[in-house]
Structure 1
Amino acid sequence: METVISMKNVSFVRENRVILRDINWKVSEKEQWVILGLNGSGKTSLLNIVSGYQYPTRGEVSVLGHTFGKTNLPELRKQIGFVSSSLDRFNQTLESETVEDIIVSGKFATIGLYHTVTHEDRQQAEQLMASFRIDHLKGKTYDTLSQGEKRKVLIGRALMAKPKLLILDEPSIGLDILTREEILALIKEIIVTQPCHVLYVTHYIEEIIEEMTHVLLLKDGQIVAAGKKEEVLTDEYLSETFQLGMNVRWEHNRPWVSIEKKSMLQRS
């Protein structure tokens, strides 16, 4: 499998509103992508199509070798790990679950355990906990964890099924700087050690670590630029995407941005 994701002339319309327009995008093996854009730019709809929860209004989509219209989408979803703040809607169910049970449930793509769990499943969950350095949380319930610990547990859950594609939708939202860097270090470890491709969605350019290779910029449902991060993360492309004058600098192979004062004055 050389192509991980392929979108050709993809549009998505809901209630006569165009959410995505003429998306042409390809993700190849060994590429790790970041998706950037303002709220309302189409990021969520793009992710929902990739994960098989929404069907494009027009265009051709292929994910992990599965061509939409010719494949079983529930089977495709079993190959995709998903971590998002949208999972918070299941907190009432999660809060009384133990850390290890939540991680094991990822094998079955369920919230809560409703299947027979083998000794091997338990061992795999414990190995994930050890590699994420959260094995000390064994036996603790979800409601007793910090936000950072919860995020690590959900990432472990997403990896339990050994996905070929891992979608991380703003995994650092609501975290302090120290915890955010711990999550980014964990993602680096996943990229280096796990046989999966990452789609990382964020609002913060400085979260693009060295191991993330490509960037997709979205604005009003259209692609501003897509390609290698060094070619896409320019002052011009970012200023167009975020509708602000932005300047990019690179430190330790990570991009950082500043906002032009004149640009801020014009918007105030």
Structure 2
Amino acid sequence: METIARFQNVAVTLQGRPILKNIQFEMKRGQQWALIGLNGSGKTTLLNILAAYQFPSNGTVEVLGETFGKTYIPDLRKKIGFVSNALERFSDYYRNDSIERVILSGKHSSFGIYEEITKEDEAEAIQLLKQFRIAQYAGKKFHELSEGEKRRVLIARSLMSHPDILILDEPCSGLDILAREQFLQSLEVVIARGCHIIYVTHHIEEVMPHMTHAVLLKEGEIIAQGEKKEVLTAKRLSETFNTPVSVTWHAERPYVTVNGPVQLP
């Protein structure tokens, strides 16, 4: 099975402090991964490496058949999409743009449209509006949408460049339960387009049925990885979250319950 991403003996040290330690990770074609860990566990650093925005201090990184240090990074980045609620800090760049223009800007990964857009691009943007069930908002300005609708627009935007990997960094942060569920269900569109997902969260119930694998990160180290039902166990999640939890599965989704009071810092 073809390898999509591989980390071998990857470590990151910043100002003498270890951020990632001996990361061994491999994602293969057809797999959809959830990355789970507490704040400060090293998730953001691992994502930045995967997205080719940061290099490790040690180790080897291969993404989409390209090895860091032996490939032209800007071309590789075009094959990797990135969606985060943090992207909305750039929303002033397109707050008065129609949502169609926001989506079209993803063709060249720019904030605003500065290069040629074809009729085919426009047709694809309309198709994405339909696939993400936001076609009824066509013509509306980005800032007029709800937070959940904005996130779906941002995913549609990321798909305009036809990425092979889509990184979703806590994309449901700040969404209410309805907007969260609508967003999570929309990810089926991403997978149907042949894109591979790495979904980052510390909310276990966001691991949807279409997610196949999970990796648990704690204090810069991977403590478990593999098929999700083998990884998302009470024992391993209790270790990851530093608190005793139990896990139940319903409709192929895991749910966590904290067992008693937690220790205060």
Task: Give the 3-state SS of the residue equivalent to 1:267 in structure 2.
Answer: coil
Residues 134-143 or 157-166, more deviating: 134-143
Structure 2 unaligned regions, length at least 5: none
* TM-fit CA distance, 1:149: 0.8
Deviations, residues 86-142 of structure 1 (Å, cap 9, x unaligned):
212212112112101110111101111111111111011000001111112221111
Which residue of the partner structure matches residue 217 of structure 2?
218
Which amino acid in 1 is paired with 2:205? E
144 and 260 in structure 1: CA distance in 2 versus 1, 3 angstrom threshold: same
CA distance in 2, matches of 1:20, 1:85: 24
Q: 2: CA distance between counterparts of 1:196 and 1:118?
A: 23
Please give the secondary structure, in 1, of the residue aligned with 2:71. coil
Gaps of 5+ in 1: none
Residue 168 of structure 1 is matched in structure 2 by 168
For 1:113, give the aligned amino acid.
Answer: I
The match for 2:248 is: 249
Matching of residue 59 in structure 1 with residue 59 in structure 2:
yes
DSSP 3-state at the match of 1:163: coil
CA distance in 2, matches of 1:151, 1:221: 28
Aligned to 2:48: 48
Aligned residue pairs, count = 265
Matched to 1:25, the amino acid is: F
The match for 1:240 is 239
| Inter-partner Cα distance in structure 1 for 2:165 and 2:208 | 18
Q: 2:199 maps to which residue?
A: 200
AA partner of residue 264 (structure 2): R
Q: Does structure 1 conserve the Cα–Cα contact (< 8 Å) formed by 2:132 and 2:189? A: no
Structure-2 residue corresponding to 1:267: 264
> How many Å apart are 1:143 and its aligned residue?
1.1
Amino acid at match of 1:60: T
Is 1:188–1:209's contact at 8 Å kept on the other side of the alignment?
A: no
Q: CA deviation at 1:265?
A: 4.8
1:83–1:158 Cα contact (<8 Å) kept: yes
Cα distance between partner residues in 2 of 1:223 and 1:73? 26
Q: CA deviation at 1:40?
A: 0.5
SS in 1 for 2:125: helix
- Equivalence for 1:231: 230
Counterpart of 2:99 in structure 1 is 99
Q: Distance in 2 between matches of 1:179 and 1:188?
A: 15
Kindly provide the CA deviation profile for residues 21-78 of structure 1, in whole angstroms up to 9, marking residues without a partner as x.
Answer: 1000000111100000000000000000000000000000000111000001110110
CA distance in 2, matches of 1:113, 1:211: 33
Distance 1:198 1:204 in 2: 16
- Give yes or no for contact 1:61–1:67 (8 Å, CA) kept in 2: yes
Distance 2:37 2:171 in 1: 16
| Alpha-carbon distance, 1:188 to partner | 2.4
State the Cα distance separating 1:197 from its structure 2 match.
0.6
TM-score for both structures, normalised by structure 2 = 0.97
Task: Report if aligned partners of 1:147, 1:175 keep a CA contact under 8 Å in 2.
Answer: yes
Overall identity of the aligned pairs, in %: 49
Match runs of 1:83-94 below 5 Å: 83-94=83-94
Task: Name the stretch that deviates more: 55-64 or 79-88.
Answer: 79-88
Contact 1:106 1:159 in 2 (8 A): yes
Cα displacement string for residues 176-232 of structure 1 (whole angstroms, at most 9, x for unaligned residues) = 1111111111012322x1111100011110111111000010001000101100110
**What is the SS of the residue equivalent to 1:117?**
coil
**TM-score normalised to structure 1 length:** 0.96
**RMSD of aligned C-alpha atoms?**
1.1
Change (3 A) 1:265 1:171: closer
Query: Secondary structure at 1:114's aligned position in 2?
Result: coil
Aligned-partner SS, 1:211: coil
